[in-house]
Amino acid sequence: MDFIFSVFGTLLNLDVKSLLIFIAILILTADYIKNRRHASFPPGPWAIPILGNIFSVDHNKAHESMTQLAGKYGDVYSLRIGQQWLVVLNGFEVLKEALVTKGDSLADRPPLPILVDLTGGLGVVFSNGHIWKQQRRFAVSTLKNFGFGRKSLEPNVLEEITYCINDLNSYKGKPFNPNLIFSNAISNIICSLVFGHRFEYTDEKFRKLISYFETALQIEASIWAQFYNAFPRLMRWIPGPHQTFKQIYYDIKDFIREELKEHKQNWDPSDQRDYIDCYFNEIEMSKGQTDNTFDEECLIISVFELFVAGSETTSTTLRWAFLYMAKYPEIQAKVQAEIDRVIGQSRQPSVEDRVSMPYTDAVLHEVQRIGNIVPLSLPHMTNKDIQLGGYTIPKGVTVIPNLTSVLYDKNEWETPSTFNPGHFLTEEGKFVKQAAFIPFSAGKRVCLGENLAKMELFLFFTSFMQRFTFSMPAGVKAKLDYQFGITLAPCPYEICATPR
């Protein structure tokens, strides 16, 4: 009897093993059939079944990995993340064709689960279709009315610079970490437009809030976010940094809700003080319209996006700028000499000074180029089949514009890996803007705050260089290491701002 049970058990185990092997083969075969590259689709590295190419890219320096893959597979190649395909575009000509010439076909954003779960597809940056068009149109027109990116906003920027200079003076040339100071100062510009007021640098709640931005942007570009987007049903329940990202999002949204609550208490439709007031008015005017996309939830998401986008990229650029000035004191001295000659020490800089300051302008452009602030831009998605680089990219495929491949292209820049303001200067020393300079991306989804960022960068940079000389603490060498995220930020550092 024992022998019979033993034989039956062996047969049963064999059947279970055979079933498991059959299921595994079936899953792998189905995965291959479903996800195999067609001849007309861009080539790319071999993908692991189920997971795809999630490990083909170093997510601590994805922009470098993707640029290296272009050397092997061409300027238009594909990667598979889980069950989703994405196409990476490299080189100026390819990006120009995709984002500008065929921009209408690439105007959408992919529905990334980690963001859809938090935004519901609302807002200005990651929305699509009618919502995006209506919200962006309102944002552009409303912010313009408040001087967004125009000379009329210059006094607000200069006022914030005065606060920031006073704060830098308090360190009396001793080392400090510029991260929160610059973030707070730049954030206050967008806060004055959106919330109608600024925040003191000593406001701990606000300081904590803006310290979240860099962390959130790093997590959003991490392998945890890639897993979340590939396997959302599973990752929603698994602990990890992606849950921290979601909590940061909730905290910032709660902060914005408090601002909305205060606005409601003093809201007067005849006195529109800021973006929130104007949005409240639009909500009232749009009630009952069939195509209406204006409500408080969409307002919260829009303010969140303007808040983060309007502060993090510019403050990160400034941190790179003064790190490079400390690294190259001879360049810093030339900038200061031009400032002294054109502006002097008796007045604040003005945006009108820029045309008379080609070297300073060239230095700022070179900081943006080599700093590579948003290395992979933001993802796009095809809304119909398109042809690029001799390949067919079907509708619904995520497209990554690799800005790194353009800003570091050896065919476009004389010394792409070296800080060289000469990239933007003629032999006569006149400023010249290069076509391949696209740190704000291009096309339909070009950065909404480009003009404001340009104004802020020039005024902050020249004002600080007018008042201070930047150097590393004694015995410390300037290191140009970065932290990868949606934005490419310098690793934390301390610097000395010595009054001139």
Give pLDDT, residue 267. Answer: 84
Distance CA 68, CA 405 (A): 9
Distance CA 261, CA 364 (A): 40
Contact 123/143 with Cβ under 8 angstroms? no
Give pLDDT, residue 270. Answer: 82
Distance CA 453, CA 446 (A): 13
Contact 394/385 with Cβ under 8 angstroms? yes
- C-beta neighbour count of 297 within 10 angstroms: 12
225 Cβ neighbours under 8 A, 6+ residues apart: 114, 219, 242, 245
Q: Which of 442, 383, 461, 446 is nearest to 186 (CA)?
A: 461
Q: Which helix (H) or strand (E) holds 88?
A: strand 84-89
Distance CA 18, CA 6 (A): 18
- The string of DSSP letters for 141-178 reads HHHHHTTTTSGGGHHHHHHHHHHHHHHHHTTTT--B-H
| Single-letter amino acid code for the residue at 42 | P
Residue-wise burial string across 184-217, b where 16 or more C-beta atoms lie within 10 A, e elsewhere: bbbbbbbbbbbbbebbebeeeebbebbebbbebb
Query: Can you tell me whether residue 77 is helix, strand or coil?
Result: strand
| Single-letter amino acid code for the residue at 177 | N
Distance CA 431, CA 78 (A): 38
Give pLDDT, residue 70. Answer: 96
Q: Which of 188, 221, 192, 222 is nearest to 202 (CA)?
A: 188
pLDDT (tens place) for every residue of the chain, 500 residues total: 554 555 445 545 656 667 667 566 656 566 556 667 788 999 999 988 888 899 999 999 999 999 999 999 999 999 999 889 999 999 999 999 999 999 999 999 999 999 999 999 999 999 999 999 999 999 989 988 887 767 788 999 999 999 999 999 999 999 999 998 999 999 999 999 999 899 998 898 888 888 888 899 999 999 999 999 999 999 999 999 999 999 999 999 999 999 999 988 888 888 888 899 999 999 999 888 888 999 999 999 999 998 888 889 999 999 999 999 999 999 999 999 999 999 999 899 999 999 999 999 999 999 999 999 999 999 999 999 999 999 999 999 999 999 999 999 999 999 999 999 999 999 999 999 999 999 999 999 998 888 889 999 999 999 999 999 999 999 999 999 999 999 999 999 999 999 99
Give pLDDT, residue 30. Answer: 61
Q: Which of 457, 388, 442 is nearest to 42 (CA)?
A: 388
Compute CA distances 422 → 333, 384, 409, 410, whole Å.
16, 41, 16, 15
Write down the domain spans for the chain. 62-499
- The string of DSSP letters for 264-284 reads HHT--TT---SHHHHHHHHHH
Give pLDDT, residue 26. Answer: 59
Query: Can you tell me whether residue 2 is helix, strand or coil?
Result: helix
Q: What is the assigned CATH class of domain 62-499?
A: mainly alpha
Contact 319/495 with Cβ under 8 angstroms? no
| Single-letter amino acid code for the residue at 290 | T
Give pLDDT, residue 287. Answer: 87
Q: Which of 280, 294, 318 is nearest to 196 (CA)?
A: 280
| Single-letter amino acid code for the residue at 444 | K
Q: Which of 75, 81, 108 is nearest to 404 (CA)?
A: 75
Residue written as tokens 């068009």? 133
Give 109's Cβ-side CA count (13 Å radius). 23
Q: What is the DSSP letter of 175?
A: -
Contact 91/81 with Cβ under 8 angstroms? no
